């Protein structure tokens, strides 16, 4: 049984990843969850990642390696810390949005990536543009105004509605693929009426973790 430890920055992501595991068809995998909302809150206060936050996140990821076969960082704002943690980790340390980026740009075209948190924009753009170099995809990273305020206020229906509306708008204006950068956005995918359906990170990340465990 593969043991996957997940580092989240929102309590709601626990259910999202448990549901994603059920929907993925993956078997022989169990999830363990840790939530560090303080790390994302600090990044928002600082206007983005600082060296201190990278180090603190990397340390949290390293601590989760004990008793795990792989570790998943589910927060896109903190994503760059995964590479730091992975250098000396005894098990694979992955960021879920890296798997999302690879899937989104695989067929080239115009990829619109939606972000709810402003601090996510810079690391997300870097990640997707790096992945797109191999396929020639054109990446357009967009912020969804008001979405994160709704999330923090506990108004999840409005949060998901704003994201779904942005997804529909992206498809109407020529996107060949839409990707939701943050795991908490996954519930909006079913509300988008256009085709193809948006890509979300939880299932992509879990599949990447399974592959990493098999490869290890």
Q: What is the pLDDT of residues 69-93, one digit of tens each?
A: 999 999 988 999 999 999 999 999 9
Looking at every residue in the chain, the average pLDDT score rounds to 94
- Cα 74 to Cα 131: distance, rounded to the nearest angstrom: 18
Share of the chain residues as helix, strand and coil, in percent rounded to the nearest 5: 55, 20, 30
Residue 38: its pLDDT value, please? 97
Q: Which residue has the tokens 């939701």?
A: 180
Residues of the chain with confidence (pLDDT) below 70: 216
Residue 216: its pLDDT value, please? 57
Residue 39: its pLDDT value, please? 96
Return the bridge partners of 133, or none: none
CA 205, distance to chain mean position in Å, is: 8
| Closest among 92, 78, 116 to 3, alpha carbons compared | 92
Residue 2: its pLDDT value, please? 94
How many C-beta atoms lie closer than 10 Å to residue 34's C-beta?
14
Distances (CA, A) of 178 to 1, 23, 112, 160: 33, 20, 5, 15
Q: Which residue has the tokens 């980790």?
A: 89
Q: Which residue has the tokens 């809150």?
A: 41
Residue 30: its pLDDT value, please? 96
Report the chain's terminal Cα–Cα distance, integer Å.
14
Residue 194: its pLDDT value, please? 87
Residue 215: its pLDDT value, please? 84
């Amino acid at each position: 049984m593969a043991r996957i430890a997940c580092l989240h920055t929102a309590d709601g992501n626990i259910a999202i990843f448990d549901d994603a595991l059920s929907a993925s068809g993956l078997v022989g995998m169990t999830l363990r969850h840790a939530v560090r909302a303080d790390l994302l809150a600090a990044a928002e206060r600082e206007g983005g990642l600082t060296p201190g936050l990278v180090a603190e996140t990397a340390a949290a990821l390293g601590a989760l390696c004990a008793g795990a076969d792989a570790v998943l960082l589910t927060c896109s704002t903190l994503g760059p810390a995964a590479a730091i943690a992975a250098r000396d980790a005894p098990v694979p340390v992955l960021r879920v949005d890296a798997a999302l980026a690879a899937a989104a740009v695989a067929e080239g075209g115009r990829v619109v990536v939606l972000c709810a948190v402003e601090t996510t924009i810079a690391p997300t753009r870097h990640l997707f543009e790096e992945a797109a170099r191999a396929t020639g995809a054109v990446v357009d990273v967009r912020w969804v105004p008001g979405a994160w305020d709704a999330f923090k206020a506990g108004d999840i229906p409005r949060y998901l509605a704003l994201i779904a509306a942005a997804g529909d708008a992206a498809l109407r204006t020529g996107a060949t693929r839409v990707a939701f950068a943050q795991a908490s956005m996954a519930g909006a995918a079913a509300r988008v009426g256009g085709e193809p359906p948006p890509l979300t990170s939880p299932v992509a990340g879990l599949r990447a973790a399974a592959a990493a465990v098999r490869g290890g």
